[in-house]
Amino acid sequence: MPAERRTIEAVPDAERHGTPRSQFTLWFGANMQITAIVDGALSVVFGADPLWAIPALLLGNVLGGVVMALHSAQGPRLGVPQMISSRAQFGVYGAVLPLLLVILMYLGFAATGSVLAGQAVAALLHVGTAAGILVFGALTAVVAVTGYRLIHVAGRVATVAGALGLGYLMVRLFTRYDVGAHVGVKGFEAATFLLAVGLGAGWQLTFGPYVADYSRYLPRDTSARATFWCTFAGSVIGSQWAMTLGALTAAVAGAAFLPDQVGFLGELAGPAFPAFLVYLVIVVGKLTVNCLNAYGGFMSVLTTVTAFDRRPHVAPGVRAASITGFIAVSLAIALAASDDFLTHFKNFVLLLLTVFTPWSAINLVDYYLISRERVDIPALYDPAGRYGRWNVTALACYLLGIVVQVPFLATALYTGAVTERLGGADVSWIVGLVATSALYWLWARRSADPPAATVRPAADA
């Protein structure tokens, strides 16, 4: 399979291909993985009963999934990477501000994901964890450098492997443990319910800055509704399945699960061969999502750099070097990090989620309500064009959208004053979405100047 040639430039109509069904398998496969299982387990670890945690996770996945899928529907219409399209709101230079935090967050996710996958590779090959991390990093580099088509193939493989593997683990859980005895033990608590909703929503919102990267090759006339629903269904069903398994596993296993998630799932699988297959499923699932992190991370790096040198595209060698460099840095973090460091780093990464909520709100309100899907695509690459260098309105709303969330945060690094009164429930993302959307819509609609119709590059005009 030849390596992808395109990077940050608009994909010409002649190179568009595929159907919306590819979005279902990609996002279903990317969510059927161990980190989603751990995310669901945390809802129970934080004090929720599975009877309430599971529907709360579903509510969060649905709400966050709507936002995420609305971003995906932009891909076929514009044919550009997600963060390039945000230049229409923030300006060509202004879009760099959220981009820097996006790069940092996906670098963190890639590093922590490499640790979990490296443990599974180590169990498969009977090598040390460090060797397992390096092997996994090499696999990630091959798939990510090859690009769009191979990433979608990995998603299809992960869909089948994840459904079989997580389905088997669910059966094993119910046959080995009295799951019913651990469900419905605690009463409803609003704080832990809202916390679980936040875990589900936050999971989905992290995909926002790069979800359209994987729908931008779809033909321009692809139904936006079909793209939305295929992305939404794949991401929500996949994540909810994995998180439900995690919530139930945490309920029956207690403290035995979180210190060694990979080892516990391997032991739950049973004898040597089923355990081998489960480790393989873990690797396949993490490979898919880590490729998304690496691919999206390098896209964000190039989007940042090219904002200042005005390049609409880069050479294949630069593309490959950027991906490899991104993966190398994430592996260095994974190899050098102690367990305590990874815990603190993940907490820091989760805190960075506050920057995605106002970014999503501004991008979606502008695209669907103010510009009404009309974008000047060539101007996205020209600081002297329609969108300029900086959009003060968007940047001010973005910063205010972050600030307004602070009193509502509930993280290991900081707990807001309002959150303490709510019993620890993190509703910051709800406040951020609503406040930023309202403020940007009221402010930007007065000064917005969208084109009368979408302006396309000369090759597709």
pLDDT at 307: 83
* Phi and psi angles of residue 225, each rounded to the nearest 5 degrees, phi first: -65, -40
Q: Would you place residue 322 in the very low, low, confident or very high pLDDT band (cuts 50, 70, 90)?
A: confident
* Helix axes 129-146 and 148-176, enclosed angle (nearest 10): 140
Average of per-residue pLDDT values in the chain: 89
pLDDT of residue 461: 54
Q: Estimate to the nearest angstrom the gap between the alpha carbon of 324 and the chain centroid.
A: 20
What pLDDT sits at residue 349?
Answer: 62
| Choice between 317 and 248, residue whose per-residue pLDDT is larger | 248
**Residue positions counted in the chain:** 461
Q: What pLDDT does 341 receive? A: 59
Which of 85-89, 335-339, 345-349 is the most confident on average?
Answer: 85-89
Confidence tier at 5 by pLDDT (50, 70, 90): confident
Residue-wise burial string across 106-134, b where 16 or more C-beta atoms lie within 10 A, e elsewhere: bbbbbbbbbbbbbbbbbbbeeeebeebbb
- Superfamily of domain 13-347, CATH level 4: Hydantoin permease (1.10.4160.10)
- Kindly tell me if the per-residue pLDDT of 347 is higher than 80: no
At residue 112, the pLDDT reads: 83
Does 271 have pLDDT greater than 80? Answer: yes
pLDDT the model gives residue 299: 86
What would the mean pLDDT of 43-66 be, rounded to a whole number?
93
* Chain segment 246-262, per-residue pLDDT in tens: 999 999 998 778 778 88
Q: State residue 346's pLDDT score.
A: 58
Question: 106 pLDDT exceeds 90?
Answer: no
Share of the chain above pLDDT 70, in %: 96
pLDDT of residue 111: 87
- Looking at residue 419, its pLDDT comes to 78
- The pLDDT tens digits for 159-210 are 999 999 999 999 999 999 999 999 988 888 888 898 889 889 989 998 988 8
pLDDT one-digit tens code per residue, 366-408 = 999 999 999 999 999 999 999 999 999 999 999 999 999 989 8
Give the whole-angstrom CA distance, residue 401 versus residue 441.
13
pLDDT of residue 315: 77
- pLDDT classification of 351: cutoffs 50, 70, 90: confident
**pLDDT of res. 338:** 59
Residue 55 has pLDDT above 70, yes or no: yes
Mean pLDDT in residue range 113-131 = 90
C-alpha to C-alpha distance for 209 and 435, rounded to whole angstroms? 20
Q: Per mean pLDDT, which range of 186-190, 414-418, 454-458 is the poorest?
A: 414-418
**437 — pLDDT class (breaks 50, 70, 90):** very high
- Give yes or no for residue 104 having a pLDDT over 90: no
Least confident range from 34-38, 117-121, 311-315: namely: 311-315
